[in-house]
Structure 1
């Protein structure tokens, strides 16, 4: 619960588009990173 609140606070300090783009990049990196490792 505390983690979620902290994330929202950080998110509110960053422009919405920038946060969404970074979040999407991070998720894609995790997916592709796991795929390349196998």
Structure 2
């Protein structure tokens, strides 16, 4: 995740959102989005 985005979410106390974004980014990297999803 982008360090600026991570810091902003930390400042706004969005701990759960930070965790969800990390999980979703890892999942997307593993699965690779299909063109049908676009």
What is the TM-score with the length of structure 2 in the denominator? 0.51
**Greater Rg by CA:** 1
Flag structure 2 segments of 5+ consecutive residues without an equivalent: none
The 3 A distance-change label for structure 1 pair 31 and 9 is: same
Q: Which runs of 4+ in 1 moved over 6 A?
A: none
Distance 1:32 1:22, change over 3 A: same
Greater helix share, 1 or 2? 1
1:4-35 Cα offsets, whole Å, 9 max, x none, are 7x6763452450000100110000000001xx
RCO (CA 8 Å, sep 6+): is it higher in 1 or 2?
Answer: 2
Q: How many residues align?
A: 31
* Two-structure CA RMSD over aligned residues (Å): 2.4
